[in-house]
């Protein structure tokens, strides 16, 4: 029986590079290094229940979450893979207070921001978790990278992606020319193209929000949730952003985390959570905003900046934005 030709992540990256005459291979090499780190993290995540690394590390990260040992392992693995890649001059991570310069490659072209293991509260209950990454071309060109190389709008990302450690391990990425998904085949240790040219449905019947915070949301968000509850929509909320956004990307729907009274700027991080996922959602034909403004146009002022986020099927995001606008008209 003829088998369809398997297209590995590495092969796909090389083929895509051939379509970019000015590409010098550095970005391709960086993407391959992130793919390698993801395979190692996947191996550790999949045995977490067996080895005592799922316990708490008694350390807090920038979000004030208890850092699990697996978070730290994923963080260290990504840093070491990027350090060895030679294509990255600096990194910023949810688990690191400040950015890190990669001294041995301080003149390289790219900086990488990542959330090494998003959904940490789900690690020890065997629920899907994920890695999120964003790649920018550095803005400064002399000496070591500075914070300005990291504080760039999402529209400046040259590539973005996530790895979902779920029933299977999937890597989904874009360089701005289509969104492609790869499923890890552990028997050959390769990410294989399984979801070519992902297109998000224009609308859907699933809304994804932490309904438990309903009374803490602004009136516009509450009005939109009321609309969802009075429609024939289903509520699906995993509590791992990567998993909720992946389902939204594949099946359609809307994922949102509005600002709350206790978190007036929102909870989710702009630079290494919302921007990369917004690039993917938009690349697949969806929309991503903070309820008013396109996520990718938000001006960053600090590494761990937060934002409200509404992302998914364009018709549903536009619907949510309309409820927010209407609520603002009433209160002004």
Binding site for ligand P6P (CB under 6 A): 65, 118-121, 210, 239-241, 267
Active site residue 319: no
* Catalytic entry in 33, 44, 118, 321: 118
Q: What is the smallest separation between the CB atom of 273 and ligand P6P, expressed in angstroms? A: 7
Q: Exactly one of 33, 273, 282, 321 is catalytic; which is it?
A: 273
E-strand stretches of the chain = 56-60, 66-68, 88-93, 100-101, 110-118, 129-137, 157-165, 169-174, 179-185, 190-195, 206-208, 234-235, 254-257, 268-269, 287-289, 306-307, 309-312
CB of 267 to ligand P6P, least distance (A): 6
Whether residue 273 lies in the annotated active site: yes
Our answer to whether residue 118 is catalytic in this structure is yes
Tokens at 285, concatenated: 């034909």
Least Å distance, CB 49 to ligand P6P, is 19
- For residue 233, count CB atoms less than 10 angstroms from its CB and return exposed for 0-12, middle for 13-18, buried for 19 or more: middle
Is 94 noted as a catalytic residue in this protein? yes
117 is catalytic: yes
Residues 111/27, Cβ–Cβ less than 8 Å: no
How many C-beta atoms lie closer than 10 Å to residue 13's C-beta?
21
Q: Are strands 206-208 and 234-235 parallel, antiparallel or unpaired?
A: parallel
Which of 33, 44, 71, 87 is flagged as catalytic? 71
* 65 given a catalytic annotation: yes
Q: Which is nearer to ligand P6P, 191 or 257 (CB)?
A: 257
Whether 10 is catalytic = no
Smallest distance, ligand P6P to C-beta of residue 189, A: 27
Residue with smaller CB distance to ligand P6P, 171 or 274: 274
What's the rounded Cα separation, in Å, for the pair 53 and 218?
39
User: Choosing from 78, 117, 164, 184, which is the catalytic residue?
Assistant: 117
Active site residue 115: yes
Closer to ligand P6P by Cβ: residue 118 or 149: 118
Least Å distance between CB 94 and ligand P6P? 9
State the burial class of residue 8 (Cβ atoms within 10 Å of its Cβ: 0-12, 13-18, 19+). middle
Give the nearer residue to ligand P6P in terms of CB position, either 44 or 94.
Answer: 94
Compute CA distances 221 → 42, 93, 184, 295, 317, whole Å: 36, 30, 37, 17, 11
Q: Which is nearer to ligand P6P, 126 or 197 (CB)?
A: 126
Active site residues: 65, 71, 94-95, 115, 117-118, 273
């Amino acid at each position: 029986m003829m088998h369809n030709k398997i297209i590995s992540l590495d092969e796909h990256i090389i083929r895509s590079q051939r379509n970019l005459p000015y590409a010098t291979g550095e970005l391709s090499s960086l993407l391959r290094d992130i793919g390698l780190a993801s395979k190692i993290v996947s191996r550790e995540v999949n045995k977490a229940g067996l080895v005592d690394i799922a316990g708490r590390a008694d350390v807090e990260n920038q979000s004030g979450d208890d850092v699990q040992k697996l978070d730290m392992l994923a963080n260290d693995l990504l840093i070491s893979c990027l350090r060895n890649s030679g294509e990255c001059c600096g990194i910023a991570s949810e688990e690191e207070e400040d950015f890190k310069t990669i001294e041995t490659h301080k003149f390289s072209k790219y900086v990488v921001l990542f959330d090494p293991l998003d959904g940490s509260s789900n690690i020890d209950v065997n629920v899907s978790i994920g890695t999120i990454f964003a790649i920018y071309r550095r803005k400064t060109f002399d000496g070591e990278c500075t914070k300005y190389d990291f504080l760039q709008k999402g529209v400046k990302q040259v590539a973005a992606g996530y790895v979902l450690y779920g029933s299977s391990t999937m890597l989904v990425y874009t360089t701005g020319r289509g969104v492609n998904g790869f499923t890890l085949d552990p028997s050959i240790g390769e990410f294989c193209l399984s979801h070519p040219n992902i297109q998000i449905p224009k609308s859907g019947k699933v809304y994804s929000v932490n309904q438990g915070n309903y009374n803490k949301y602004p009136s516009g968000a509450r009005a939109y949730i009321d609309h969802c509850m009075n429609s024939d929509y289903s509520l699906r909320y995993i509590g791992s952003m990567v998993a909720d956004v992946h389902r939204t990307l594949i099946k359609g729907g809307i994922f949102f985390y509005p600002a709350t009274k206790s978190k007036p700027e929102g909870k989710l991080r702009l630079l290494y959570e919302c921007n990369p996922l917004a690039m993917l959602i938009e690349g697949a034909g969806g929309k991503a905003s903070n309820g008013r403004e396109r996520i990718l146009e938000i001006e960053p002022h600090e590494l761990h900046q937060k934002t409200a986020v509404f992302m998914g099927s364009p018709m549903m995001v536009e619907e949510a934005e309309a409820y927010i606008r209407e609520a603002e008209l009433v209160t002004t």
